[in-house]
Amino acid sequence: MNRIIIVSIGILAAVICISYCSRTKTLSPNLEKQSGANENDAGGTMVVRKPAAAGRFYPSSPERLSELVKGFLSDARKEMPVLSPDTKIVEILSPHAGFIFSGATAAHAYVELEGRDYDTVILIGPPHHVRVHGASVYCGDAFETPLGSVPVNTDLARRIASSSHLINDDERPHIQEHSLEVQLPFLQMVMKDFSIVPILIMGNKDVLDSVAHAMSDVFREIREQHGSVLFIISTDLAHFPEKKDADKCDVEILQAFCTLDADLLLKKDKEIMSRGVPNLACTMCGLDAAYVGIRIANAMGGTEAFILDRSVSSDAHVPGAGTESVVGYGAVLITGGN
Task: Name the phi and psi angles at 175, rounded to 5.
Answer: -60, -45
Partner residues linked to 125 by β-bridges: 200
3-state secondary structure of 272: helix
Evaluate whether 68 touches 6 at the Cβ level (below 8 Å).
yes
pLDDT tens string 228-257 = 999 999 999 999 999 999 999 999 999 999
* pLDDT (mean) for 195-223: 96
Is it the case that residue 89 has pLDDT exceeding 90?
yes
- Tell me the chain's radius of gyration from C-alpha atoms: 18
pLDDT tens string 7-44 = 444 444 444 454 445 444 333 332 333 444 455 544 56
Q: Distance between the two ends of the chain, CA-based, in angstroms?
A: 49
Query: What are the sequence ranges of the domains in the chain?
Result: 2-336
Q: Say how far apart CA 123 and CA 3 lie, in whole Å.
A: 30
Evaluate whether 58 touches 151 at the Cβ level (below 8 Å).
no
- Topology (CATH) of 2-336: Protocatechuate 4,5-dioxygenase; Chain B (3.40.830)
Q: What percent of the chain has pLDDT over 70?
A: 86
| Closest-CA residue to 98 (of 208, 212, 12, 211) | 12
Instruction: Give residue 224's pLDDT band: very low, low, confident or very high (50, 70, 90).
Output: low
Write a three-state SS string for 74-120.
HHHHHHCCCCCCCCCEEEEEECCCCHHHHHHHHHHHHHHHCCCCCCE
pLDDT tens string 253-271 = 999 999 999 999 999 999 9
Amino acid identity of 250? D
Is it the case that residue 198 has pLDDT exceeding 70?
yes
What is the residue-averaged pLDDT of the chain? 89
- Where is average pLDDT lowest: 36-50, 96-110, 313-327? 36-50
